[in-house]
Amino acid sequence: MGVLGRFMVGITKCMPRFFVAGVARRYVAGKDIASAVSVMKKLTGEGVCFTIDVLGEEISNLDEAQFFIDEYDRVLDAIVKNNLDANLSIKPTAFGLLIDEKKAYENIERLLRNAMENDIFVRLDMEDFRVTQPTIDIVIAMHAKGLRNVGTVLQSRLFRTSSDIDAVCDELSGYADFRICKGVYLEHESISHTGYHNIVDALNQHVDQILDRGAYAAIASHDWPIIEHSLAALEARGMGPGIGDSRDGCAGERTGKGPGYEFQMLLGVRGNIRRRLAKAGHRTRIYIPYGERWYEYSMRRLDENPDVAMHITKSIFMPWTNRR
C-alpha cells in the first residue's frame, strides 16, 4: 500500500484547495471552536466523549505560542459553558518545547492548572522522535507538582515504547495514563517497526502491559485486530463496562474517565465500529481537531504517512464503509 499511498498523496496535493477542504470537512471539525462545539453537540447523542485539539504544532518563535495559550483558554471556557464531556489534547512543540524548554514548561503548567480547576484532563500528544523523552519528562515533572490531570501518548511503532511504559509506571504508579496508538510519524527503521503486522503485534502487547501495570489505557486504534485483542484482554482481566477498576496499583475512579480504559477514534473514521463500542457500554472518545491551519495539518499528515491517502480515497469512493 505504501507505493500506492505515495501516488495518492501526489494526486491529492495537485487538487484545488476547495476540493481538499471538502474532504477535510469529514475529519476536521471546522475553523473555530464554535464549529467544534457544534460537531460535539451533534455526536453527544451517541453516548461518546471527546478530546479537543487545536490544529498546529512546532512553532518558529515564542510569540506564536501565545496563540495556543489563548486558544486553549477559550476551549476550556467552551467545555465548561456547554457542559461537554471533553478533555484537551496539546502538542508540546506548539507551546515552545523546541525553542525554550523552561518557557514551554511554564506555558503547559499554566494550562494544566486552569484545566484542573474544572476537572479537565490534558493529553500531551506525541510528536516525532526528537521530543519523545522531553514529552515524557514533562508529564513526570507535572505530576511531581501535584498536577495529575495529564498523561501522554506513546507510539507502538517505536522500539522504546515498552521501556517507556515501565519507566512512567515506576514514576507515577497507578496515576500513569497513556494513549497508546500505532503512531503516524514514519520513523527510521533503526528505531521503529515499519511493517503493519509488527506494529499491530507491538500495540497489542503494549495494551496488555499497560493494563497489567495498573495504568489507564486509552486505546487509540481503528484496526479491528487491535480492538478485538483489547476486548479480549479486558475480559481476561475482569474489566469492562460497569465494572469498577480493581487492578492492583491502579488509582481508582478518575473524573471524566472510564473504568481503567477507554477506546479512542478520530473524527470521521470507522464510525460504525465506534458506535458499536459505545452501544456496548465502553467509554468511547472522539478526537476533535479544529483550526485555521486545517490545510497545513492535512498536508503534513499525508507527508508523514502516505497510507492516510488510501483511507481518504476509500471514504470518497466507498463512503458506506466509513460513516462519520
Domain range annotation of the chain = 1-25+305-324, 29-290
Rounded to whole angstroms, what are the CA distances from 179 to 183, 252, 306? 11, 18, 23
What cell was used for 167?
Answer: 519507566
Q: Write the DSSP symbol of residue 160.
A: T
Instruction: Give backbone dihedrals phi and psi of 65, rounded to 5 degrees, phi first.
Output: -65, -30
Work out whether the CA dihedral 241, 139, 126, 79 comes out positive or negative. Answer: positive
Tens place of pLDDT per residue across the chain (324 aa): 455 555 555 655 565 555 555 555 678 888 999 999 999 999 999 999 999 999 977 788 999 999 999 999 999 999 999 999 999 999 999 999 999 999 999 999 999 999 999 999 999 999 999 999 999 999 999 999 999 999 999 999 999 999 999 999 999 988 999 999 999 888 899 999 999 999 999 999 999 999 999 999 999 999 999 999 999 999 999 999 999 998 988 888 888 899 999 999 999 888 889 999 999 999 999 999 998 766 666 665 555 545 555 555 555 545 554 455
For the beta carbon of residue 21, count every other beta carbon within 10 angstroms.
14
Q: With contact defined as beta carbons under 8 Å apart, do 152 and 178 qualify?
A: yes
Q: What is the pLDDT of residue 270?
A: 83
How many C-beta atoms surround the C-beta of residue 33 within 10 A? Answer: 21
User: Residue 35: how many CB atoms within 10 A of its CB?
Assistant: 16
What pLDDT is stored for residue 271 in this prediction?
87
Span 29-290 CATH architecture? Alpha-Beta Barrel (3.20)
Residue 9: its pLDDT value, please?
A: 54
- Distance set, CA 145 to CA 148, 167, 184 (Å): 8, 18, 31
Give per-residue pLDDT as tens, 177-214: 999 999 988 889 999 999 999 999 999 999 999 999 99
Taking only the tens place, the pLDDT of each residue in 213-238 is 999 999 999 999 999 999 999 999 99
> pLDDT digit string (tens) for 8-37?
556 555 655 555 555 556 788 889 999 999
